[in-house]
Chain A
Amino acid sequence: MNTGPNDNEIISRVLRGEQAPYAELVKRYQNFVFTIALRYTPHREDAEEIAQDVFIKAYRSLADFRGESKFSTWLYTIVSTTCITFLRKKKLEVQSLDNEKVFEMAESHDSGFRANQVEQKSKLQMVNEAIKLLSPDDGKVITLFYKGEQSLEEIGKIMGLDPNTVKVKLHRARRRLKEKMEKHFVQEVKDIMN
C-alpha cells in the first residue's frame, strides 16, 4: 500500500531537521488515530483535537522512538494515553451501552432511526454503526486488530496487556459486537445468517 519511503526513513529525515516529511506520517496514520479517538468520544471535534495532540506528542518524542517496534505500535500507545488524559481533563465520561440507563436511551432513540433507515442499511454500514455502540476498549481492540495491522503481541504492548489477555478481549469484543448487531439490526442479521 505504501509506495513512498517507509516510516523509519521518514523518521530519520525528520530527526536530521526536516519537518516537511512528517506530513507524510500524519497522512498515513491520521485516519487510524482519529478512528481510535472516536472510540473514546462521540464528538468529532474532541476526537480531532485528541488526534492532533497525538501527532504533536509523537513529533516531540520522535527522538526517543528506538525502532524496536513498528512506528504504528508506538503511535497507538500514545493514542491510548492521550485519550484518557483528554477525557479526564474534560471530565467526560465515556458511555458504554453496557450501562443499562444509556442502553434504554439508545433503544428509544434507535426505534425511530430504524424506521427511517432500515431499508437502505447495508451490511457494512450495520457493522460500522454497531462498533460505535461498543465500549472504548472493545472498539479499540477490534479496530487495532482489523484495521491497524497489529498482531496480538503488538496490541498487548499498546494496551499494556499480555497477548493471551488480548486474545480473550478480542473474542469478547467480537461476541459483544455480534450481540449489538443482533439486538439493533435484527432483520439485517437474519439476512446475513440466511
Chain B
Amino acid sequence: MDIQPTIEERLWDYIDGTCNAEEKTFIGQLIATNQEWMAKYKELLEVHQLMGNLELEQPSMRFTQNVMEEIGKYHIAPAAQSYINKKVIWGIGTFFFLTIIGFLIYGFGQVDWSSKDGNSILPLDFSKVDLSVFFNNTYSNIFMMVNVVLGLVLLDMYLEKKKKVKNKNMEL
C-alpha cells in the first residue's frame, strides 16, 4: 500500500502554507510525535530550501543592449481600447435610438387611428403621415447628414478594433 504520495502532498501543503489552520495544527502535531512524518518532513524541507536557492541563468552581457537596439526600431502601438471611449459610443448609440423613436412617435402621432379607408388593405390610415416635412427642410437635411457621418465614424472604429485584435492574435 503506497501512502507516501499522500503524506508527501500533505507535507508540501504544510511547508508551502497552503493548508488551512486545522490541517496545519494536525500536521504540526504529527511531525512532532510521529517518526515517519518527522523524517519525511525533514527530507522535504531540505529539498524545499535547496529549491529556494536555485540559481538563475544569466544571458550575455550585451543582452539588454541588444533588446534596446531592437525596440528602437518600433514605436508602441496605442492600446486598442485607448481611443475608443465607451461613453462616446453609448452617446452616439443613444442619439440614434432616440432619433428613431422620435420618428416613430411622430409617424404614429400622424396616423388617424379612428378612420378606415374602405379601399385600403391596411387596417389603419397612414395617408395622413406627412414625412415630406422632414426632407424639405435644410436643418433636417443637415441633421440627417450628421447622423450618416456619425454612423460611418462608428463603423470605422469598430472595424479598426477588429483589425488590431486580429493582427495581435496572428503575432502571438
Interface residues of A (CB under 8 A from B): 14-15, 19-20, 22-23, 26-27, 30-32, 34-35, 38, 44, 47-48, 51-52, 55-57, 59-64, 78, 81, 85, 123-124, 127-128, 131, 142-143, 146-147, 152, 167, 170-171, 174-175, 177-178, 181, 192-193
Contacts and interface: CB of A to CB of B under 8 A. Distances in A.
B124 to A, nearest CB: 53
A48 B60 contact: yes
B79 to A, nearest CB: 4
Contact of A63 (B54, B55, B57, B78): B78
B76 A60 contact: yes
Give me the 7 closest cross-chain CB pairs, A-B, nearest first: A63-B79, A31-B56, A34-B59, A127-B50, A35-B57, A35-B56, A59-B71
Contacts of B46: 192-193
A52 B51 contact: no
Contact of A55 (B5, B67, B77): B67
Contacts of B64: 23, 26-27, 30
Contact of B12 (A23, A174, A192): A174
A139 B128 CA distance: 79
A31 B57 contact: yes
Interface size grouping (class) on chain B: 35 or more
Contacts, number: 115
Given A60-B77, A61-B168, A167-B18, A19 B54 contact: no
Given A62-B76, A124-B50, A152-B18, A56 B71 contact: yes
Interface string B70-106: 1110101111101000000000000000000000000
Contacts of A170: 12
A175 B79 CA distance: 43
A177 B12 contact: no
Contacts of A35: 56-57
Given A167-B18, A171-B9, A15 B57 contact: no
B88 to A, nearest CB: 19
A31 B58 contact: yes
A127 B51 contact: yes
Q: Which residue among B5, B12, B46, B55 has the maximum number of chain A CB atoms within 10 Å of its CB?
A: B55
Interface in B146-167: none
Contacts of A44: 57, 59
B129 interface: no
B57 A177 contact: no
Contact of B57 (A34, A64, A85, A171): A34
